[in-house]
Each structure stands twice: as structure tokens, then as C-alpha cells.
Amino acid sequence: MLASGGEAGCYIGEHMDLTHAIHWAGQAAVRGSDANRIVLAGLRSLLKTTGQVSITNPLSSARDGVTPDLTRALLCNDGTQRFCVKLYPSCPEGEAALCRHALILSSLKDTLPVPDVVQLLPEADPFGFPALVTTASGRTLDHELPELSAVAQEAIMVNTAVAVAALHNCDPGGLPIDTTYDPDSVLSLWREDAEWYVKNADRAGEAADLVRRGASELARHSKAPPRGSVAHLDLTPYNILAENGAVILVDWDHAGFAAPHEDVGKMLIGLLGMLSLPRVSRLPLARAFLDAYSRETSCSREELFIHSVPFALDTILDWVVGGKNAPREELSWATERILKRDWDKCGLA
């Protein structure tokens, strides 16, 4: 039932019994480390909590199966119900991060589409590491959108924008986040990052010149958004589940207080550079998201796009240089779209 290959390329069939997945995960874990114990503990916890489930693509990515760093297991049943076991370091900092994540979910669940907390285990006992078990329905956008009509795709973009706008309008009171926001610090970070991209542009291979041009554009920005809001800060198509048009925002480990345009910028480059759709299909999705967010927030499309550009550039240049999250040629194409800041020329209007 198992395909041959290295850890990152191994594949388990779509509907394998979890007990087989546990055995496989133990074999795949790194010898001489605690990886076996971590993976087995997480998977066994889910088996005990939810009963029989199936697992897909272990160790292949952070989207399904067990993440390469062996800190998270994503499992699904025969439908689209997904269960996530997130394992945290067994130390005060790890336990604090776990409790923070759980509190964010519980605080937002009445106003936003977020995962349900199934089980909170802040102490190392009973299976070795603090863990948070959550559940949500749906498939990630990169899996769901390619199978839908253009009309259905646009509806999901609208629902995503409504959810993100609601997040940005949340009262931060009661959330375990620091509400300090300093535009000058944002500018300093852009300049520092731009300098780093220039120094490391050659890592991007054929895209090196594009990286230098993007870094120059990033460094030229002299004004950051003046106000912050509650933000997800890891908003990509991999962290949004969709089912029957409804969406759920998942993976809240990085949530905090920042310019709302940071979420918009990351979502923009995710739609343009990460989806398994023809390029001509991605531009309308980006436009649908931005149009809907603009309506929800009463911010003009042009203003929204301009303020989101530096956040989008900062994220995508990191991806291009590192060659991660999507094929570099697709990220380069998305970077070109973002660099063309004029709304009409960039094809988003």
C-alpha cells in the first residue's frame, strides 16, 4: 500500500486505516530522534479522540498528513471533515503558545468561521507533548477551487473577503495579542528585508533580476498603513477551507495585531502564485477577493491594492528567493503582476 521513495515523496492511499498510518509514520520518522514518539503520540491521540479516520500524503507538505517538522498531523475521514493535531514543545513557552492558540479560536468562534477545538492538552501527559486537537470541514482552496465553476469560485472569494473583513473589524479586547502597532517599525522592516533580498538575489537563479527589482520597489515605500487591526498573518489558500461555498480560516498560530493590508497582500500573492489554476483564471479570483473586501471595508480598490503591495512583495520575494510554497516560475509571474501597480495594467480591474 505504500509507494517507494524518500520521506518527502512517500504517499499513502486516500483511504488507509489510521493504524496503518501510525505504523508508516513510525517507520518514516527520523532515526535516532524523538520523531517517532512525536508522530505516534499525535496520531494515537486522534485515534482515541475521534475513532477511525484516514490520512493522506504524510510528510508531503503542511497541507495534508504530517508536516516535515513532525509537529502537526492533519487527518480526514471519508468525507471532508478534517482533524488537526498540533504538537507544541514540552516547555512553558510551548504550553503558552498552545493555550494562546486555543483562546484565539474560542474567542473568535461566535463571530468568525474558525475550527472547533476538540481537545486541549496543555500538559505533556498523557502522550509526551502538549497538544491542541481541532476540527473543521472542507478542503483547502488549492484543492477545492479547480473543481468548481467560475461562478462558484467567485462566490468563495466573496465569502473569504467577508470573513477577512470581519476579522479586521474584531475588537482585540480579550484576545491574547499585543495591540501595539508602529508604522515606523513596518517601514524599517521593509527596508531591512529589501536589503536582504538584494544580497541574496542570486539564490533565485533566473529570477534574480526580478528579485532585485522587487526589492528596490519595496525599499521605495515611504508610508505604512497608519492603523493596525486583529490579523491572521498567515492567510494563504492553504489556510482556508471551503465546502459548499462556505469557508473556514485555519492555522491561527501567527495571529496578532498588524496592518490589515498584510493579510490582504498575502492573500493576493497566494491567489496569484499558489493555486493550481491557469494564470488567466487566477486574476479574476484576485479581483473578486479585492472587490468584495473593498465593499466590506469601504476602502477603494485602488487604495487597497496600493497599501497591500509592499506586504505582498515582502512575502513573495521571500518565497522566490527560498524557492518555496509554489513553483518559482509561478511566483515570478505573480511578482510581475504585483510590480505593475497601475490597476488597469496589472489586469485586476
Q: Are residues 237 and 263 in the same domain?
A: yes
pLDDT at 1: 23
Number of Cβ atoms within 10 Å of the Cβ of 288? 21
pLDDT tops 70 at residue 322: yes
More confident residue, 80 or 347: 80
DSSP string over 61-88: -SSSEE-TTSSEEEEE-SSSEEEEEEE-
More confident residue, 104 or 2: 104
* Structure-block grid coordinates of residue 313: 512583495
pLDDT tops 50 at residue 125: no
Task: Answer yes or no: is 236 within a domain.
Answer: yes
Task: Answer yes or no: is 258 within a domain.
Answer: yes
Q: Are residues 33 and 65 in the same domain?
A: yes
Q: Are residues 123 and 177 in the same domain?
A: no
Average per-residue pLDDT for the chain:
80
What is residue 242's three-state secondary structure? strand
Give the Cα separation of 182 and 200 in Å (integer).
Answer: 27
Q: Are residues 296 and 205 in the same domain?
A: yes
Q: How many residues does the chain have?
A: 349
Number of Cβ atoms within 10 Å of the Cβ of 70? 21
Name the H helices within the chain. Answer: 18-28, 35-50, 92-108, 141-144, 150-168, 183-199, 208-220, 260-273, 279-297, 301-322, 328-339
Task: Answer yes or no: is 331 within a domain.
Answer: yes
- 150: CATH: 3.90.1200.10
Give the Cα separation of 144 and 242 in Å (integer).
Answer: 7
pLDDT at 344: 43
pTM flag (> 0.85): no
Q: State which of 137, 168, 200 marks the end of a domain.
A: 137
Q: State which of 107, 137, 167 marks the end of a domain.
A: 137
Number of folded domains in the chain? 2
More confident residue, 141 or 91: 141
For 217-236, write each residue's pLDDT tens digit: 999 999 999 999 999 999 99
Q: Are residues 219 and 266 in the same domain?
A: yes
Give the Cα separation of 332 and 321 in Å (integer).
Answer: 10
For 16-31, write each residue's pLDDT tens digit: 454 455 454 444 444 4
pLDDT at 35: 52
Q: Are residues 335 and 250 in the same domain?
A: yes
pLDDT at 28: 46
Task: Answer yes or no: is 220 within a domain.
Answer: yes
Lowest mean pLDDT among 28-32, 119-123, 201-205: 28-32
Mean pLDDT value across residues 300-316: 91
For 211-221, write each residue's pLDDT tens digit: 999 999 999 99
pLDDT tops 50 at residue 13: no
Taking a C-beta distance cutoff of 8 angstroms, is the pair 138, 82 a contact? yes
User: Where does the pLDDT of residue 306 fall: very low under 50, low under 70, confident under 90, or very high at 90 and above?
Assistant: confident
- Angle of helix 260-273 relative to helix 150-168, nearest 10 degrees? 160
Contacts of range 324-327, beta carbons closer than 8 Å, 24 or more positions apart:
325/236, 325/273, 325/274, 326/273, 326/274
Task: Answer yes or no: is 347 within a domain.
Answer: no
Lowest mean pLDDT among 11-15, 70-74, 143-147, 184-188: 11-15
Q: Are residues 223 and 81 in the same domain?
A: no
Q: State which of 113, 137, 161 marks the end of a domain.
A: 137
Mean pLDDT value across residues 188-198: 97
Q: Are residues 154 and 81 in the same domain?
A: no
Q: Are residues 122 and 11 in the same domain?
A: yes
For 44-74, write each residue's pLDDT tens digit: 565 555 555 444 433 334 344 556 555 666 6
Give the Cα separation of 336 and 214 in Å (integer).
Answer: 9
Task: Answer yes or no: is 114 within a domain.
Answer: yes
pLDDT tops 90 at residue 78: no
As a dihedral over the C-alpha atoms of residue 187, residue 188, residue 191, residue 197, rounded to 10 degrees, the angle is: -110
Residue % of the chain over a pLDDT of 90? 53
Range of the domain at 11: 7-137
Q: Are residues 91 and 37 in the same domain?
A: yes
More confident residue, 86 or 307: 307
Mean pLDDT value across residues 155-178: 97
Mean pLDDT value across residues 291-319: 92
Task: Answer yes or no: is 154 within a domain.
Answer: yes
Q: Are residues 153 and 298 in the same domain?
A: yes
pLDDT at 130: 77
Task: Answer yes or no: is 2 within a domain.
Answer: no
Q: Are residues 188 and 127 in the same domain?
A: no
Give the Cα separation of 252 and 254 in Å (integer).
Answer: 6
